[in-house]
């Protein structure tokens, strides 16, 4: 099974790098952040409280998720836009800190890769928890101001200050939570993408992979 793990905080360039790598290697791509967002969306849609551990856990276990490259279906409902909206973004850290939710989604991520003979997975804990034996682990970083600038460009309805404040809050929650916090795997290749163009990052990672495979 060929698994490539791409971890790092929001705005570090994970999605762009992971998608490009998947295309270059002929592997499928899974955005695991979209899964945590989709569960959050499902809780909100049913009128539940994402902060209530039992509600979030039950939803994670029962929800039907279809995480495509450009489309996310939650119980058959197209929630592609909603999962990136402010409501979900505000509540997702609480859901991602829930151990029962993580257990369920990690199991689904492993099953996803098993069925496909591997893949490129991006998230926060892929190299540390989901696939500690991944063929290659990349940990992307970038300084907070640059990450906020990238995110602000993506979400056109929020200004830079709001995006920067939200990113800082989520960084703190994701890095300090008790279960599977965001951190670098000891054997990950760390790439600081501040000031780098993503094409360059993809080329370097592909070169690394070739070195690993040849060596």
Closer residue to ligand DC in complex, CB, 33/119: 33
> What is the rounded (10 degree) CA torsion for 9, 10, 12, 16?
130
Evaluate whether 147 touches 167 at the Cβ level (below 8 Å): yes
Does residue 8 touch ligand DC according to CB under 6 A? no
Phi and psi, residue 174, nearest 5°: -70, -35
Quote the least distance from Cβ 19 to ligand DC, whole Å.
13
Closer residue to ligand DC in complex, CB, 154/213: 154
As given in the structure block, the two tokens for residue 215 are: 């060596």
Those residues whose C-beta lies under 8 Å from the C-beta of residue 88, and which sit 6 or more positions away, are: 37, 40, 41, 44, 82
Report the residue from 125, 147, 148, 167 that binds ligand DC according to the rule CB under 6 A: 125
Closer residue to ligand DC in complex, CB, 10/205: 10
Interacting positions 68-107 with ligand DC (CB under 6 A):
92-93, 96
Does residue 138 touch ligand DC according to CB under 6 A? no
Report the residue from 3, 18, 20, 36 that binds ligand DC according to the rule CB under 6 A: 36
> What is the rounded (10 degree) CA torsion for 39, 156, 15, 121?
0
Interface residues with ligand DC (CB under 6 A) are 10, 32-33, 36-37, 92-93, 96, 123-125, 170, 174
């Amino acid at each position: 099974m060929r698994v490539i793990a791409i971890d790092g905080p929001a705005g570090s360039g994970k999605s762009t790098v992971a998608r490009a790598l998947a295309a270059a290697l002929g592997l499928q791509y899974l955005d695991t952040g979209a899964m945590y967002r989709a569960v959050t969306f499902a809780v909100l849609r049913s009128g539940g409280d994402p902060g209530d551990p039992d509600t979030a856990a039950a939803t994670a276990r029962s929800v039907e998720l279809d995480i495509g490259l450009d489309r996310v279906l939650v119980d058959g409902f197209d929630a592609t836009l909603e999962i990136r909206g402010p409501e979900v973004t505000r509540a997702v850290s609480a859901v991602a800190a829930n151990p029962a939710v993580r257990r369920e989604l990690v199991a689904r991520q492993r099953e996803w890769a098993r069925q496909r003979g591997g893949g490129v997975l991006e998230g926060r804990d892929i190299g540390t928890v989901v696939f500690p034996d991944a063929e290659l682990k990349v940990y992307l970083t970038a300084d907070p101001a640059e990450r906020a600038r990238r995110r602000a460009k993506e979400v056109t309805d929020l200004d830079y200050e709001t995006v920067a404040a939200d990113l800082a809050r989520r960084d703190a929650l994701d890095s300090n939570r008790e279960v599977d916090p965001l951190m670098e795997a000891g054997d990950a290749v760390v790439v600081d993408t501040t000031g780098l163009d993503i094409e360059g990052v993809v080329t370097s990672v592909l070169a690394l992979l070739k070195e690993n495979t040849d060596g």
